[in-house]
Structure 1
Amino acid sequence: MTHDRNVLVVTSDSLSEKMAGPAIRAFEIAKAVASVANVKLASTVHSTLSHDGLEIVDVSKVGLESLVEWADVLVFQGHLLSSHPWIKATDKIIVVDIYDPMHLEVLEQSRGRSFDDRVYISSATVGVLNDQILRADYMVCASEKQRDFWLGQMAGLGRINPATYDADTSLRGLIDVVPFGLPDAAPVQNKHAIKGAVAGIAATDKVILWGGGIYNWFDPITLIKAVEKLAERRPEVRLYFLGVKHPNPHVPTMQMAFDAKKLAEERGLLDRIVFFNEGWVPYDERADYLLDADVGVSTHLDHLETAFSFRTRILDYLWTSLPVVSTDGDTFAELIQKNSLGAVVPAGDVEALEAALELTLFDDEEHGRITARVAEFAELYKWDRVLQPLLDFCANGTRAADLNANVQIAAVAEIASLKARVADLETQTGGLHASASWRITAPLRAVTGAARRILK
């Protein structure tokens, strides 16, 4: 069926049989949008994926210019605008998927680098996101808490202005919530992938599943220690980490993954109680692993990234009706507690985590009750339901009111701020030698001049 609109969905993650969260999200978005528009799905990194009724392309082979020219609407995530800045000058309707607050992640991800490097990476990431927000005609994020966070950043950039406010006083027409979703089809296990299939894990063992990669903002260390203590009383307990090597070749194995494996090895748990899948599970085979588990787990550190995160691996737990044991502090912790979907424990509390795992694994009556509640709750997160705001926009959305009217409030405000900083520095450096004063104020003068030229 041919539609009136062409929509291009772009991801900077690998599209293949082995996919991480960003690629999965782009794939599911593209499939859903195909019901209201003509769709092409593209990866700027690598693509070998195919799907009936959906054209999937590798940008490195076909080029991005022709794809953007074809599109009426562009939906993307990641660094697309910073790597292809010419897109900003087009008249395309641009949808930015900011479900991942990258500028919070890099605070943890870059910890092993020098302070100067960390400051640069952090500032650069903020710049990438600000650039997207300033150009976006529509934005989607993963939760209401995230939306509040992004609204603050948008306000600081001037995107909440008389034009956008008058167009929609709720601002839902500019940014709305589109969380990660679940497949409509129920999970089917074609084979056992963990129980009785992994050496050291028997068919009768109790399996705790870590359902994704091991990143620096997670806390596998507390989990391994809790499982070690629990296994002393419950020798049939096993902990299985589903993925270590990320399918995107540009994403390195993180320090926390090395630390987790080192701890398991030092404690004599490796390949006996604690197991690591060194590769990455194909997307279409993940049910074989999930349905072999008894509990899904998500443990993280107590920091800013946690507060605004949306742990996509927990969606797979919901899909397969797994009880969830999670660290407190993120969006899903609130949902788990409110809907009795498992147990929530304080960050870094080995004893509390051990107790929660034991109760959830070995109290058969409670396990059954939780499983039933998880299955019921999961209906709220089916892809066709959560994607509805985005589908509506792809079918009917227009250029943002302020961009359409060429409102430049953010640029004007930035110039005013920079001029004030220049004046302040000139006052402070009045007693310095002229050359020293110029070295301090010249960068600000240059930026101010550039901003003025942009406005002309």
Structure 2
Amino acid sequence: MSRVVILTGDPIGKKMAGPAIRSWNMATELAKENEVTLVTSTNLEDGVEAPFALRQVRPGENDAFGELERWADVIVFQGHGMSQFPVLRTTDRIVVADIYDPMHLEMLEQGREQPRATWNLQVTKARDALNEQLALADFFLCASERQRLFYLGHLASLGRINPATYESDPHLARLIDVVPFGLSSTKPVHSKDVLRGVLPGIGADDRVLIWGGGLYSWFDPKTLIRAVANLAQRRPEVKLFFLGTRHPGVAEMGIVKESFDLARELGALDASVFFNETWVQFADRHNFLLESAAGVSTHMSHVETTFAFRTRILDYLWANLPMVVTEGDSFAELIEAEGLGLTVPAQDVAALEAALERVLFDEAFVAESRANVERVREQFTWERTLAPLVEFVRTAQHAADYTGDRRDLAPKGASSRKPYGLAHDVRMAWHHLVNAGPGAVLSRVRGRLTRRR
């Protein structure tokens, strides 16, 4: 039995998004054999019950995190954890970096809305944070074989693929392994009405398309809204419901307003297109899924797509929903290969409209798709997806090239600036003032205050 600390930067509570859900399930599986503490560096809701310990330690509370570090045998973290808590750069504990989210590629899209200097800064910070993790951690978790190949290139450029790591592990499985996002092995059961016959504008017999998760700039909800608005003219029982627009730990992106505006312009808002303007409670999302006829996910075509792992697809599998998605990512390949629904080219309104109509009204196709989803879903239960992490912790050891001092592995020229605290806030306020004006500074201050409530 090991003592394991799992660190997430997402809020933990009734309304959890992907990173927190993933960390929660890691803690659940590891707690079957180990003593586990799940830590959030943002918000921990009061009254949350779990089969493991829960802690909140904010960036800069180094003494509190240092106690956890000294207690632990293994530390698993995601996001900016290594930047937030400097002890992770020097600890002699075994460190596992969960890099299922290629955040520097996300920033290439998310940063488009910012002035060029801010865009450059966001991408650079994400890249540097990932490079530091890849240089210093003992073991890495990614979400797909595509991602694994991508990160092997990173690791090679940082010198982590070397005789020491290769000699007794020629496939490098003890350096980096595939640990996809998972789903519950317990099938969901409808417990209360939440959409059909409840939400004004959605009738008891309507056919609902559900967009699981939030609205972010690397997605393409506008093509979907146009396709649904067109289809609803012939099929008025077709409704599209966006399950969440405001991620509990991320500032709202411009695509949210653009989506509302487009739906309003087309006359579809609250007629055929509906937005949940908050975030559905984690324990209640199954009711929304089970009242839906199909799951949808549409995105642009770019490099982020190539390496993305759309976690909302797991909810569709869990609820046995056929689905329509944009081609190009690893889940689109799975959907095509296993007959789980339909894929369409990016930004093709006509093709998307036709696919939506088929997945809603072709009963034979729907039955076949649901049978295939039922079969494939078993591959993605948390017990299966987390098996490589569980096995690693059972026999946890440092990476073969660990010398006893992580600083020997540190990338040359790595920044020592803290991504939090007064000095960081002042630097960022000055940056936004110079590059975007006073309005941008005030907007970010308001966003920071809102997230801390």
Gaps of 5+ in 2: 414-453
Give the match for residue 235 of structure 1.
236
Letter in 1 for 2:132: D
C-alpha change, 1:51 and 1:219, in structure 2 (3 Å) is same
Letter in 2 for 1:121: Q
Aligned equivalent of 2:38, options 35, 41, 51: 41
Matched, 1:349 2:368: no
Which stretch of the first structure deviates more once superposed, 79-88 or 338-347?
Answer: 79-88
Matched, 1:300 2:295: no
Give the match for residue 140 of structure 2.
139
Give the match for residue 319 of structure 1.
318
Q: Percent identity?
A: 47
Which stretch of the first structure deviates more once superposed, 64-73 or 233-242?
Answer: 64-73
Give the match for residue 21 of structure 1.
18
Q: CA deviation at 1:408?
A: 8.4
- Matched residue SS, 1:76: strand
C-alpha change, 1:212 and 1:235, in structure 2 (3 Å) is same
CA RMSD of aligned residues (A): 1.6
Q: For residues 407-427 of structure 1, give each alpha carbon's deviation from its aligned partner in whole angstroms, at most 9, with x where no partner exists.
A: 988669x59xxxxxxxxxxxx
Q: CA deviation at 1:167?
A: 3.2
C-alpha change, 1:411 and 1:253, in structure 2 (3 Å) is closer
Matched, 1:384 2:383: yes
Q: Is the 8 A contact 2:89 2:406 kept in 1?
A: no
Counterpart Cα distance in 2 of 1:411 and 1:50: 38
Give the match for residue 286 of structure 1.
285
- Matched residue SS, 1:402: coil
- Matched residue SS, 2:295: strand
Q: CA deviation at 1:406?
A: 6.0
Give the match for residue 272 of structure 2.
273
Which stretch of the first structure deviates more once superposed, 335-344 or 253-262?
Answer: 253-262
Gaps of 5+ in 1: 416-456
Superposed counterparts of 1:75-90, under 5 Å: 75-90=76-91
- Matched residue SS, 2:240: strand
Counterpart Cα distance in 2 of 1:396 and 1:36: 12
C-alpha change, 1:23 and 1:408, in structure 2 (3 Å) is closer
Q: Is the 8 A contact 1:240 1:277 kept in 2?
A: yes
Q: Is the 8 A contact 1:216 1:255 kept in 2?
A: yes
Give the match for residue 64 of structure 2.
63
Letter in 1 for 2:286: A
Q: CA deviation at 1:404?
A: 3.4
Q: For residues 268-299 of structure 1, give each alpha carbon's deviation from its aligned partner in whole angstroms, at most 9, with x where no partner exists.
A: 11111100001111111011100000010000
Superposed counterparts of 1:92-171, under 5 Å: 92-171=93-172
Give the match for residue 419 of structure 1.
none
Letter in 2 for 1:13: D
Counterpart Cα distance in 2 of 1:98 and 1:167: 24
Superposed counterparts of 1:166-205, under 5 Å: 166-205=167-206
Counterpart Cα distance in 1 of 2:129 and 2:373: 37
C-alpha change, 1:404 and 1:36, in structure 2 (3 Å) is farther
Give the match for residue 447 of structure 1.
none
Counterpart Cα distance in 2 of 1:33 and 1:40: 10
- Matched residue SS, 2:320: coil
Counterpart Cα distance in 2 of 1:410 and 1:355: 53
Counterpart Cα distance in 2 of 1:38 and 1:263: 50
C-alpha change, 1:43 and 1:252, in structure 2 (3 Å) is same
Q: CA deviation at 1:164?
A: 0.5
Which structure exhibits the higher relative contact order, with contacts defined as CA atoms closer than 8 Å and separated by 6 or more residues? 2
Counterpart Cα distance in 1 of 2:330 and 2:137: 25
Q: For residues 187-221 of structure 1, give each alpha carbon's deviation from its aligned partner in whole angstroms, at most 9, with x where no partner exists.
A: 01111111111000001001000011000000000
- Matched residue SS, 2:195: coil
Letter in 2 for 1:58: Q
Letter in 2 for 1:51: E
- Matched residue SS, 1:209: strand
Q: For residues 328-358 of structure 1, give each alpha carbon's deviation from its aligned partner in whole angstroms, at most 9, with x where no partner exists.
A: 0001000000000000000000000000000
Counterpart Cα distance in 2 of 1:231 and 1:201: 12
C-alpha change, 1:45 and 1:207, in structure 2 (3 Å) is same
Q: Is the 8 A contact 1:161 1:409 kept in 2?
A: no
Counterpart Cα distance in 1 of 2:137 and 2:335: 33
- Matched residue SS, 1:403: coil
Matched, 1:31 2:28: yes
Q: CA deviation at 1:51?
A: 2.9
Counterpart Cα distance in 1 of 2:108 and 2:410: 27
Which stretch of the first structure deviates more once superposed, 165-174 or 23-32?
Answer: 165-174
Q: Is the 8 A contact 2:99 2:141 kept in 1?
A: yes
Letter in 2 for 1:15: I
Letter in 2 for 1:383: W
- Matched residue SS, 2:208: strand
Aligned equivalent of 2:51, options 41, 50, 53: 53
Give the match for residue 373 of structure 2.
374
Counterpart Cα distance in 2 of 1:200 and 1:161: 60
Which stretch of the first structure deviates more once superposed, 117-126 or 381-390?
Answer: 117-126
Give the match for residue 9 of structure 2.
12
Counterpart Cα distance in 1 of 2:52 and 2:123: 36
Give the match for residue 215 of structure 1.
216
- Matched residue SS, 2:112: coil
Q: Is the 8 A contact 2:90 2:405 kept in 1?
A: no
Counterpart Cα distance in 1 of 2:179 and 2:394: 16
How many residue pairs end up in the alignment? 409
Letter in 2 for 1:185: T
C-alpha change, 1:208 and 1:411, in structure 2 (3 Å) is closer
Q: CA deviation at 1:311?
A: 0.1
Matched, 1:261 2:260: yes
Q: For residues 27-56 of structure 1, give each alpha carbon's deviation from its aligned partner in whole angstroms, at most 9, with x where no partner exists.
A: 000000011211010100011263342111
- Matched residue SS, 1:119: helix
- Matched residue SS, 1:110: helix
Q: Is the 8 A contact 1:158 1:409 kept in 2?
A: no
- Matched residue SS, 2:279: coil
Q: Is the 8 A contact 1:189 1:288 kept in 2?
A: yes
Counterpart Cα distance in 1 of 2:184 and 2:403: 36
Greater C-alpha Rg: 1
